[in-house]
Amino acid sequence: MTGLRFLTATRSVRGMKNGKRTGFGGSRKRVELGCHIVADPEVCHGKPTFKGTRIMVWQVLEDVADGRSWDFICNTRWGGKIPLAAVAEAVRLARDA
């Protein structure tokens, strides 16, 4: 199936809620992945983020992989919006994946 036909087909199956697309059949819901991490289809296209923020987990994991200290990541890079425990949880979830 070409890209255009696939796109058209997926649009016809998607549900609507209050004028917004809800995904395939509207069945996607918020998933709590830990105490600090959530995947919500209404936030950042459902990518895992830290609760109450639009900071995506992959961004923090990339900072960790680049060798930045967790203190720098939490307090400087993200301005205190995520606690150290959230970074630890992200690393733990990534390790166990």
Q: Looking at residue 21, what is its pLDDT?
A: 55
How far apart, in whole angstroms, are the C-alpha atoms of residue 89 and residue 97?
12
pTM over 0.85: no
Task: Quote the domain boundaries for residue 69.
Answer: 33-96
Contacts 24+ apart (CB under 8 A), 87-91: 87/60, 89/34, 89/35, 89/36, 89/37, 90/36, 90/37, 90/50, 90/57, 90/60, 90/61, 90/64, 91/61, 91/64
Q: Given pLDDT bands bounded at 50, 70 and 90, which one contains residue 28? A: confident
Please state the domain count of the chain: 2
Whether residues 9 and 40 fall in one domain? no
Per-residue model confidence as pLDDT tens digits over 54-89: 999 999 999 999 999 999 999 999 999 999 999 999
Whether residues 21 and 56 fall in one domain? no
